[in-house]
Every structure is written in C-alpha cells, then in structure tokens.
Structure 1
C-alpha cells in the first residue's frame, strides 16, 4: 500500500471533487439522482398511504388521483358513466355528479346539492378517470392539505404530528448477507427477501427487483413477486407507469434496445418502440426514437419535436427545460427556455443554460453567470455566480446547494427560496443536504451536521446518503465489503448490518 501525504491545499481541493464523486457513486450503485423524484406526491388518508393502480399524476402543477379507488375508499359506488357525466352514490344515498369536460361537480351536502369547483377537468388515461385533489378532498368531507415542507398530502388528516406518523411508512433498503432488508426510520425491520432491490422502497407499494442478477419483476411490501415482468430492465413506477427495456434482434444478428411502459398489473400499455424513454411527470413523458417528443399515458404524442431542438428535459412544475438553436442579434446561438404541457413557450429561450424546476424554482445562466428564476421567468436571485461557482442539483426541502470558487479553494453554501445565502457555522465544505441535515467530510470520513453546524453524526463513514423521512444512511468499508447503517436525527444508529 502506498501512502501519499497531501498538502493542505490538495486536501481542500479533494473535498470539492469528492462531492461530485459521490453523485457518480450513487449512479454506480444504481440509485440514481437524489433529486430524481423530488416532486413526486404521496397521498395519505387517515394516516394510511394510498397505493393507486395508476397515479397520482400532476397536470400543470395540479395533483390528480384516480377516481375509482378514491370513491370506493369513501364509500361511493358507481351508478352510471357516460360521455357527459359520472354519477356516484354512497351508503346514505348521497350523490356525487362529476360533469365531464367541465370543472364542476355536484355533491350532496346536508340534504342539498353543493357545486364543487375543480382546478383541472377530469382526465382519462388508459380507461381510468382522474380527478383533482380539490374534488377528492371534498368527497372525503375534510378537504385536503399538504404537510408543510414535504410532498405528503393528507385527505382525512391524522391527529398529532402528521409528518412523523407519515414518514414512519417510508422504508429504507439495505443489503445484509445477500438479502434485501427493508426498515422504517425507527429501525424496525419490515421485510427480508432474497430479491435484490437497488432503490429504497420509499412510500411505494411495488419496486423493481432482480433474482440471481436477472430482472424478475416488481416486489410488493410482503416480499412477493406481485408483477412478473421479466424484461431486460425495469424502472420505478411514476404516475402509475414504469418504463421497461427489451433486447430486440436486428437484421444483422445483433441486438438493439427498445423501450416502452407497463402498468401496475404488468400489462404493456405503451409498446417498446422507442430507443429511450423517461419517467412520466405532469402527465407526460419524454421519449426518443429518431426524434424527441412528449407522449401522454395513452402513448399519444402531445408535443412533437420542438423546432431547432438540441436537448430537452422531463416536465416538472408544469414546465420542461428545452434547449434550441435560435437567432440572437443576427447570430445563430444555442439557448434554453421552458415549454408548458401544450408545447408552447412559457419562458422564452434566452438562457445560456437552465435546470429543470423543482419546488417552483430553477437555476438559470445568462451571459455566463447563474441565478435563480421562478416559474414566470422572474429572477429570485439575479445572475451573479460564474468562473467556477455554480449551483449543485435542484431545490430539495427548501434549499439548493451552492459551490463558491475562491482563489485557492472551494466552499459550499445553502440558498433558500428567497435567494438568501446561508452559511453552516463552522463548515466551509459539505457534500449534500436533506431533511434539515447536511452531509460533510473530514480526514476521518463522512458524517452529518444540522443547519446550526452542530455535529449530529461524527464523520466515521466511508460514504453516506442524505437524510430523508427522518433518517440517513451511512456505509463503512469492512473487510472490503460495505456494511450499512440507518441513523436517526439524534445521531443514533437504529439499525445496522453488522
């Protein structure tokens, strides 16, 4: 073993590189980006997580849920369905009349009918009707609410600390002696299985798993292979649909990859005709097959290829970042803007670069300097960072990371939604943020601090995954094998693979 003594300057430069390396490590382990599903909504009723056969979906920033499971949960039965309206009735004889093609519904209320306004008209995807949360909450009798600072939505709220109760249903996955172990944020084991699952269960009902290195299908929370889907590769469900990859023989005897989508029953609803597809968001998915376009849940092309397209991203917050070749000052230039779900420019392509929106904010670069914009294109933080300084990732839990380049060094800060730059006391460099905690490193390894700069977990881990749902993951290299630990916000190890 060769030991190299690094200078002070070299050590500090290494920490800046380490943050980028951790993102690469996440990709290597198949966990994807920390922010890939930051805006996905989780719906609870009376404290119980609702698993929908499809959805929820988000259309232009409005969360919509499938009507049938919501209606049946609230005690409604279907009386009639035609091309004008859907009529439901509960056990007491009260009716709900949903007028299709409009934003109004009639609900019986204390012996009379009350008009309920919806933000979005009902939508039909793959034969399933979707309604917005305004109507779903009204049918439940208590409206709906979002738990502050989270993506957790309640229909009929629980009493007490809702955030703590709902987050206890999040499952973290670890590998332990060749098995996949699922535990909650208190360290309680809920499942042990021989299936290999790379991502956390999270709040999901079904996750893709492998057996002996080969894709098997989707496992449920009982450890059963609920959906037998032996495709070459499988993605996670998003808005009720998951992408799949198949290897298709070519005429010269080789193979090519084709991708499509399946539903939670394992049925192919959009055939594998694309060379590349992405998760659904805002009711649409980006697909590529010669040309790049956006399709809906029925596989219909909603937004064809944008003129001059150079690059595009998936929708988020009702907008998609699109980079095109355009003309500025009589010159041909490449610029980025945002289209809405009808394919029209909502924010014109004027930026050198812009990220996808998250929590209503995106990073944007103009004339070589970066700042923050809202969904109207207004500057929240005017462009001011360049020459090595940059934002990292997207907004997550109310903050985004900012790396500042100095003469000899790099430092990290957090920026809030008002554009305020926040220094973590006693901490110049850190690698990530999640759920009110930052991950940081020193010569001993990686650990966690809170936003006051107080050490919660000493840096004793080889690498860590940032906190989510009240807990964080730490991993130690023990005899050339990584052993996992789950740590709560008190800094206690509540579960370990040792």
Structure 2
C-alpha cells in the first residue's frame, strides 16, 4: 500500500474517532441535561410539554413558556437549562429556593403563588421582569422591599401574605366543642385548617399526595364525592392545611358566629340516605321515602313531601310537619311549608299571601321563627350568611337576622369557601369575602353565581341588544378569565370538570384549567343538568338519556326519556309510554350499573324538585 493511501486511511480513522467522540459528548450532554432535573414532578411536567422523555439541552432550550402548576414540585434544579424561557407558571407547589432562575435572563413573567418562597433575590437582578405573582408565600423583609422596587418601576406585582386568623377557633364535632390547637391560616381571605388535626377530630385518616386528598375510615376510602377535595390544600411551615368547603363531599360543615368565636359544626355525611317516592292517583298524591335498597321505610301517606336535608324533611298531610328519618314527627301544626333546611334554618313565606306583599323569614326545625317575616325574598344560609331582598335591594344577613354585608346588590349568590359573587346596583360584577371586601372583579356578568371548584360561570352577548345569542366562559375568584366566553353552552363546574358546547357544535369535557379532557362524538345537553355528580353526567343521544363519565364514555346507555344526576348512589329516571296512554308512563331509581333499584312503576315518583 502506498504512503498516500496509508495517510488517507489514517485521516479517515481520525475523523471517525472524532465523530465517535462528539457523539459520546452529545450523549453525555443529553444524559447530563436529563439528570440535572432531579425533581420528579418538574421532570414529568417538562416531558409532557415536550411530548418526549428525551430531555436534551437542545430540547430544553426550545421552551419559551412552561406551565407546571400543582405538580408538588420542591426543587427547581435543572431549570437553568431552559435558556430561552420567558413565561413560567409555578403556582401551588412547594418551592423554597429560586436560585436556578437567576441565570434565566429572558424570563419576564413569573407566577409563584402558593409556595414556600422566602427570598426572591434570584429574580431581583433580572432586568426583563415584567410581572410577578407572589401571593401566599412567607416572604422575608428583604423580599417585600424588592416588591416595592418593582412597583416603583411600574412592574405589576401581586402579593398577599399568609395570615394567622385572629379569632379563637372552636370546632363542634357532632355536638361536642373542641378547642383547636393549631391556629388556622388565611390565604386570599379563605380560612384553612391543619389537615392532621381535623383528621384526628373526625376520627378518620386524611392523606394528601400529588394534589389529591384521600379520606379513609375503618380502612376503606370514603368515595361519596371523590373529586370534591382535589384542591383546597395548601402548605405552611411544613404542615398541610385544608379548606373546609372541600370536605363537603363527606361532611356537612356549618359556620356560625358565637361571640368572638367561629364555630365549625361537623356532621358525618349521611350513611343512610332516603329518597322521596310519591304515588299519583288523580289529585290524591301519596308520598313517602325509600332507602337505597328500594325499600319504602316511611309510608306513602303524605300529600306533599320535600327531600331530607340535615336529617329532617318537611311533609304535609292536612298540616305541615317536620319529620326525622324514622318518620317521627319533630314539629307539627306548622303555619308554613319548609323546603330544605340549611345550617339549621329554612326560609319560609307567610301564609297570608297578598299579591306583591308576601314577606319571608327564617324558621328552625322546631317551627320557631328565628328571623321574623320582613324580606321580599330570602335565600338559604351558606357559610353563615343568607342573601335576602329588602326594599328591592339584596344584602346578606347573619343567623341573628342582622345585616352583615349591606350591599346594595341587584343580585347576590351563595357563599362558598368564604367568597360570594354579586352584581352591584351600578352593574359591576364582583367577588366579595365574608366581610364584604372586594377580592375580585369580572368583566362579564355571572350566569348563576355558583362558585364551584373556584370558578364562576359568566356570560357574554356578542351582539349588542340581542340577548338571544349567548356565549359562556368562566372566571376564577379573583375575576381572572380562565375560559373565554366563546361557548354556546356550558354547565357549572362540578367535581373539577365542566362540559361545554363549542359554536361548531362539539362537546368538550374540560378540567379546572380549561384543558380538554375528552371530546364527545355523540350526545347533547338537555334538561335540568347541574354538572357531573358522583363521576357521571346525564346526557341525551337520539332523543334518550343515558350517563357518561369524564372520558365521554357512555357507561349507562341512553334508554330513558328523562334523567336526573346521581345522588347518594342512585339516579331518578323516567320512561314514557310510546303510545301516550294515560297512566302508562313509568319512573324509578337506577344504580350505577343502570339497573332499577325501585321501579319502574306506572306511578310518578315526583322527585323533580332535585
């Protein structure tokens, strides 16, 4: 072989060696980049956004916006490799150290709400910072001075500190008062209680992991409303704190003032619910109650009957009475009908009705008027307050009938978790706390005012003056638009989900961030829908009702002419006679497998007051 050939061969080997070396370096760099991100929650979130588990330096440098809210992240180590990152959403995690952010010079928008951040020095030298959210972090004094500096530079900064409540907290557990050891905290005007202590008081196990709250009693998970507590847990000084309204799926929790003490009344969720069943025979109605097995346990002897609430029900057999679940009469000879008791009281109207002159007040289960007739309208109590109308304007009263939040409002809705939505008389749409303080503003009107999973349904009329075309969206309790009002239909949030109908006619199931969980290829919303209940939603297909799950799968076939949402494990359904023969329509209750527990019978059960 000639000398030139050896020389050429040697060069080829050298080039091959260099390529192998470079490939090794690239592989090493890729492994190094992937290994640098040590927090499993952060690594999972980035992998999901990139749609790959191959977290190379090149891939990471392509990310300009990153949303890692509520991933249980404790460490940001490795985030410095996202060299082109501009927008970062980090709220609802457990982050303390922001050092990895110090080298991200293009970072301009940062959301750090609800973390454990003490120092924000790593952000202080970034001249590109344009907005920062720092609510619910135990910031030190140096950090608060930096906030002032930013605000002086006209940089929007949102910050509200974690506060200890200033009241002596007492819990009433099934009638027994217990003094709390750990002081509750307040974030965004919502009170949170020590998770461990609440669990001990209720004699249950509460565990919180990966954003999910699990309740266990006698070794078994409690699944009465499993999605109710997916949120509402925050961290403070290494302790988990829970928002009490998020436990409503398992416990009846009531609030009332007792001097300077805030009393919290816990009652274990009903283990033996009763369901109203009525027989129609012309004008002679006969109503009673059945248990979950379909056995009638309170005879059908009442001309009218309302659902049970707080262990009692209002019934009528010539006079109004209040009965318990054994059928025993607690109070008789009432002068007023009582719909559903809430927090021990129910709004009732005078029997002496005069057109335009009906007055309302509040009665307890003993039939005693606790708040006299004086209002043009009275709604139920929630979180210790009731919306009432007096002289044409709405306001909130407390359990003593005193005006707690004067308004005036043109519309006022239930309190939920210490907050309520209102319309002012000058056409403003506000979210207020229990002191009447404004905590949020919406640019759009509230459709029904329900605060579900921290979201409120809003409406928009695209054509001015034309109210026949409506678009629906959602805002959070700060008034921030989460889902724009672009949908032709939308149900209130329930169990962390909603279902919307786009203007193109597609049905989409969305999570609380507005992310599409699934799409429904067949079906439509129609009838008295209130959202998902116990994981299922009644939907209509080919003129019949069935039930879908959150994935849009039909788990109970569409075979009914009418259906109500599941409640306590059963759902009410109707089957109409195809020939419209009198008395041949059927109704009953079905279980989650679609099997009839009661019926179908040829008498109406009359439960449409759901």
> TM-score, normalising length from structure 2?
0.52
Give the distance between the partners of 2:368 and 2:379, measured in 1 at CA.
18
| Aligned: 1:400 with 2:502 | no
Q: CA deviation at 1:466?
A: 1.4
| Aligned: 1:116 with 2:186 | no
Q: Is the 8 A contact 1:352 1:367 kept in 2?
A: no
Q: Is the 8 A contact 1:312 1:323 kept in 2?
A: yes
Partner of 1:483: 586
Q: For structure 1, which segment, 132-141 or 313-322, has the greater mean C-alpha deviation from structure 2 after superposition?
A: 132-141
Which of 532, 540, 556 is the equivalent residue of 1:441? 540
Q: CA deviation at 1:286?
A: 0.7
SS state at 2:223 partner: helix
Partner of 2:422: 322
Q: Is the 8 A contact 2:523 2:542 kept in 1?
A: no
Q: Is the 8 A contact 1:171 1:183 kept in 2?
A: yes
Partner of 1:176: 279
Which of 131, 140, 146 is the equivalent residue of 2:201? 140
| Aligned: 1:67 with 2:67 | no
Partner of 1:494: 597
Q: Which one has a larger percent helix, Structure 1 or Structure 2?
A: 2
SS state at 2:382 partner: coil
Q: CA deviation at 1:345?
A: 1.1
Give the distance between the partners of 1:146 and 1:248, measured in 2 at CA.
53
Q: Which one has a larger percent strand, Structure 1 or Structure 2?
A: 1
Partner of 1:40: none
Q: Quickly say closer, same or farther: Cα 1:261–1:427, change in 2 above 3 A.
A: same
Partner of 2:570: 471
Give the distance between the partners of 1:459 and 1:217, measured in 2 at CA.
39
| Aligned: 1:303 with 2:421 | no
Give the distance between the partners of 1:179 and 1:147, measured in 2 at CA.
47
Give the distance between the partners of 1:220 and 1:428, measured in 2 at CA.
40
| Aligned: 1:312 with 2:412 | yes
Give the distance between the partners of 1:451 and 1:118, measured in 2 at CA.
34
Q: Quickly say closer, same or farther: Cα 1:167–1:146, change in 2 above 3 A.
A: farther
Q: Is the 8 A contact 1:427 1:453 kept in 2?
A: no
Partner of 1:358: 452
Give the distance between the partners of 1:269 and 1:379, measured in 2 at CA.
40
Q: Quickly say closer, same or farther: Cα 1:259–1:367, change in 2 above 3 A.
A: closer
Q: For structure 1, which segment, 272-281 or 359-368, has the greater mean C-alpha deviation from structure 2 after superposition?
A: 359-368
Q: Quickly say closer, same or farther: Cα 1:371–1:441, change in 2 above 3 A.
A: closer
Give the distance between the partners of 2:303 and 2:454, measured in 1 at CA.
35
Give the distance between the partners of 1:485 and 1:422, measured in 2 at CA.
32
Q: For structure 1, which segment, 236-245 or 448-457, has the greater mean C-alpha deviation from structure 2 after superposition?
A: 448-457
Q: Is the 8 A contact 1:134 1:143 kept in 2?
A: no
Q: Quickly say closer, same or farther: Cα 1:343–1:229, change in 2 above 3 A.
A: farther
Partner of 2:323: 219
| Aligned: 1:374 with 2:476 | yes
Q: Structure 1: where are the runs of 5+ without partners?
A: 1-59, 73-95, 99-104, 106-114, 121-130, 327-333
Partner of 2:432: 339
Q: CA deviation at 1:168?
A: 5.2
Q: Quickly say closer, same or farther: Cα 1:188–1:412, change in 2 above 3 A.
A: farther
Give the distance between the partners of 1:190 and 1:247, measured in 2 at CA.
31
SS state at 1:233 partner: coil
Q: Structure 2: where are the runs of 5+ without partners?
A: 1-164, 187-191, 225-249, 251-268, 463-470, 602-610
Q: Is the 8 A contact 2:442 2:479 kept in 1?
A: no
Partner of 1:390: 489
Of structures 1 and 2, the one scoring higher in RCO (CA 8 A, sep 6+) is 1
Which of 311, 315, 327 is the equivalent residue of 1:209? 315
Which of 341, 357, 364 is the equivalent residue of 1:256? 357
Partner of 1:244: 348
Q: Deviations over 1:58-77 (max 9, x none)?
A: xx9x9x997384328xxxxx
Q: Deviations over 1:76-113 (max 9, x none)?
A: xxxxxxxxxxxxxxxxxxxx6x4xxxxxx5xxxxxxxx
Q: CA deviation at 1:259?
A: 0.8
Q: Is the 8 A contact 1:193 1:223 kept in 2?
A: no
Q: Is the 8 A contact 1:399 1:415 kept in 2?
A: yes
Q: Deviations over 1:1-47 (max 9, x none)?
A: xxxxxxxxxxxxxxxxxxxxxxxxxxxxxxxxxxxxxxxxxxxxxxx
Q: Quickly say closer, same or farther: Cα 1:316–1:420, change in 2 above 3 A.
A: same
Q: How does 1:44-123 map to 2 (within 5 A)?
A: 67=172, 69-71=174-176, 98=179, 105=180, 115-118=181-184
Q: Quickly say closer, same or farther: Cα 1:259–1:344, change in 2 above 3 A.
A: same
Q: CA deviation at 1:323?
A: 1.7
Partner of 1:160: 220
Q: CA deviation at 1:468?
A: 2.3
Q: Deviations over 1:103-128 (max 9, x none)?
A: xx5xxxxxxxxx432459xxxxxxxx
Return the index of the structure with the highest Cα Rg: 2
Q: CA deviation at 1:336?
A: 1.2
Q: Quickly say closer, same or farther: Cα 1:158–1:229, change in 2 above 3 A.
A: farther
Give the distance between the partners of 1:473 and 1:450, measured in 2 at CA.
17
Give the distance between the partners of 2:183 and 2:574, measured in 1 at CA.
50
Partner of 1:419: 514
Give the distance between the partners of 1:227 and 1:119, measured in 2 at CA.
40
Q: CA deviation at 1:257?
A: 1.4
Q: Quickly say closer, same or farther: Cα 1:218–1:403, change in 2 above 3 A.
A: farther
Which of 293, 299, 309 is the equivalent residue of 2:395? 293
Q: Is the 8 A contact 1:197 1:207 kept in 2?
A: no
Q: Is the 8 A contact 1:403 1:412 kept in 2?
A: yes
> TM-score, normalising length from structure 1?
0.62
Q: Is the 8 A contact 1:465 1:472 kept in 2?
A: yes
Which of 273, 278, 281 is the equivalent residue of 2:379? 278
Q: How many residue pairs are counted as aligned between the two chains?
A: 362
SS state at 1:175 partner: strand
Q: Is the 8 A contact 1:173 1:197 kept in 2?
A: no
Q: Is the 8 A contact 1:485 1:495 kept in 2?
A: yes
SS state at 2:565 partner: strand
